[in-house]
Copies of this chain bind each other. A is one copy, B any other.
Amino acid sequence: MNHYELLMTLGIIALAYLSYINKNVNDKIKENCLLRPLNINNYSGFIQVEASQLDSGTSAWCRGESNVDRTCKFHYLCYNSLNDDFIFFHGPRSMASGLPQDRFSPALTDLSSVPNHNTQYFNFVDLPLEAMESFDQIFLLHGNSFIFNRFNPSNLMHVFHDDLLPLFHTLSEINYGDINSSDSRLLFFDGHAKLDHFHLYKLFSSQIPLLKSDLNKSGNSLVCFERAFIGLSNATTWYQYGFQEPQGSVRNSKITARTILLFTDYLKAKLGIEKEEQSQSRLNGILIGRRTNRLILNEEHLVMALARDLHISVQLLHLEDTSIKEAIQRISSTDVLIGVHGSALILSMFLQKGALLVEIFPFAVNPEHYTPYKTLVSIPGLNVKYLAWRNMERENTVFNKSALAEFGGIDHLSAEEQNRILDSSEVPLHLCCNDPEWLFRIYQDTVVDVHSFISAVRKSISEDLAGERDTPQIYPAKVNKVVCRKLMAVDVVKLEVNWQQPWNVKYLKAVIKEDIKYEVWIQQAFVDNTKAWILNTTGYIFEGEFLADSTYFVWVRCIINNQIGPFSDVTIC
């Protein structure tokens, strides 16, 4: 019962967040008039078929332990827009592998990389194959369809973190590294229109992605997918948005610098961005400016001071009037990226090695509590420096009590609550998504204290990078040709063991940083008595309480840079 109630409570929180997202999305649509004309029934991929052509019914193959990590492949999965449901048609040739005992607790898979969010659940409705005849029309989409939800497609941080990187990872797994293989399309099932960043998603598919609205056919119709894949990987996500606990980095995230680098290389190549020659003479920087809120009120002073005191030539970059391609191009070759905490900073993943990200936090906002970009650039091997600068001076902040609540206004709150917020000097930890104190503070404008800022940046620039490398785990191969011989003396038995170094070691010269070590295990046969030695030779004469009439089992394994290789096959002595 408790579990269930928790679920419901979370559901309500999640719905609140979604309504917040939807509001923003709708605003954007109005702003940009991006609603595409719908060519219902004319989309080139749809082919009208008879029910008899799909008489093998639906089949499903799922992998994974829960909706969070489960992926499913379907043959002839169908969708009915009238009921807004996917359908599994059970026929005598339907296969179903890996379906969980209860696919409603809470769902079969997640449609988004954001885990276990109750607006992102995928399931299907069961029908007998015979019921297929009852539908008005059946349209078939040939080839591979990859179906998922964009989580918040109007916010650049969400676009990259929740969608594009997971898409890159999932598609490369599906197609053995070939991201946009010829026979596959994306289908956004989130219900949003194309929106601003559609062109970025398009880079991951050789065909134009479909929207959910493209599946709206007249009457009670079916759209069936020859092959559908569902389940966006969350292996690359590094941040959770605070639905169940205050926001923060994902524990045990599997994101690596390699993945980021391959992703940014892919995206730059697709966008046609070429590597720029750099003038090494002086540092250059980019200040990401905002136009309506969360402003830096003394941008120009700051830029001047950076030039004067640190010889950093800073250019302003406004995402409102810069294409993503240009923004990425410029950020890729800058030395210092500066911006107030906000979604544009997701582009810091394009920073080059040795660059510095400076994230500015308004008054009363603790940088340690909002770390999506710090976590990102701190991934070992990216080698990007990070500085959080926080306005600690109440007099340097400018707030707008009367703004709309979603932009931080607090006029709608009780006088008591308003005063409490105004008096507070730090937003307490909170859950997503509508905490008024958080919104009030994060939308503040800031006069950056130039002296404090310059001094912090100077320090960061001069600091050495830890220089961690995202090195592959290279293990020694199996130790071969282990030979063991009993040396019998009058009063003592010794075991002489010799072996060969693993065959791959001779190719690892450049990788090996310390002595090659060997671990030797000797066990008296069928006795619970095993001893182990660490050596740096390929042979040794062991002395101990060995018995002349006992049998001994010997195993050897090699250790290189603390990477422990596999044991040799057993040798009997």
Contacts and interface: CB of A to CB of B under 8 A. Distances in A.
A158 interface: no
A12 B5 CA distance: 53
A427 to B, nearest CB: 25
A128 B1 contact: no
The 4 closest A-B pairs by CB, nearest first: A131-B507, A104-B566, A61-B173, A90-B472
Contacts of A93: 262
A95 B473 CA distance: 12
Interface string A268-296: 00000000000000000000000000000
Interface in A504-559: 504, 507-508, 510-511, 523, 528, 530, 553
Contact of A172 (B65, B95, B126, B564): B95
Contact of A126 (B5, B123, B475): B475
B258 A472 contact: no
10 contacts: A73-B176, A75-B176, A95-B172, A96-B472, A97-B169, A104-B564, A125-B477, A126-B475, A126-B504, A131-B504
A140 B210 CA distance: 36
Contacts of A523: 5, 8
A254 B61 CA distance: 13
A83 interface: yes
A235 B502 CA distance: 36
A56 B477 contact: no
Given A125-B504, A127-B507, A176-B227, A104 B565 contact: yes
Contacts of A259: 95
Interface string A92-122: 0111111100101000000000000000000
A177 interface: yes
Contact of A95 (B85, B131, B258, B566): B258
A411 to B, nearest CB: 27
Contacts of A173: 61, 73, 97
Contact of A477 (B2, B73, B85, B475): B85
B507 A128 contact: yes
A507 B173 CA distance: 38
Q: How large is the interface on A (under 10, 10 to 19, 20 to 34, 35 or more residues)?
A: 35 or more
A472 B92 CA distance: 9
A128 B59 CA distance: 41
Contacts of A2: 528
Nearest to A99: B473
Nearest to A225: B176
Nearest to A527: B5
| Copies assembled | 2
A232 to B, nearest CB: 14
Contacts of A177: 56, 59, 75, 95
A11 interface: yes
Given A94-B258, A177-B75, A510 B128 contact: yes
Contacts of A401: none
Interface string A56-70: 100101011100000
Interface in A163-187: 169, 172-173, 176-177
A241 interface: no
By CB atoms of chain B within 10 A, which of A235, A507, A564 has the most? A507
Interface in A38-73: 56, 59, 61, 63-65, 73
A503 interface: yes
A477 B83 contact: yes
Nearest to A173: B61
Interface string A430-451: 0000000000000000000000
Contact of A472 (B63, B64, B98, B126): B126
A415 to B, nearest CB: 26
A83 B477 CA distance: 10
B504 A127 contact: yes
A413 interface: no
Contacts of A528: 1-2, 5
A134 interface: yes
A176 B2 CA distance: 39
A227 B172 CA distance: 12
A403 interface: no
A567 interface: yes
A134 B509 CA distance: 14
Nearest to A507: B131
Contacts of A126: 472-475, 477, 504
A229 to B, nearest CB: 9
A570 interface: yes
B504 A553 contact: no
B530 A5 contact: yes
A313 B477 CA distance: 62
A169 B95 CA distance: 10
A176 B4 CA distance: 35
Contact of A1 (B61, B85, B502, B530): B530
Interface in A1-24: 1-2, 4-5, 8, 11-12
A226 B176 CA distance: 9
Contacts of A65: 65
B176 A128 contact: no
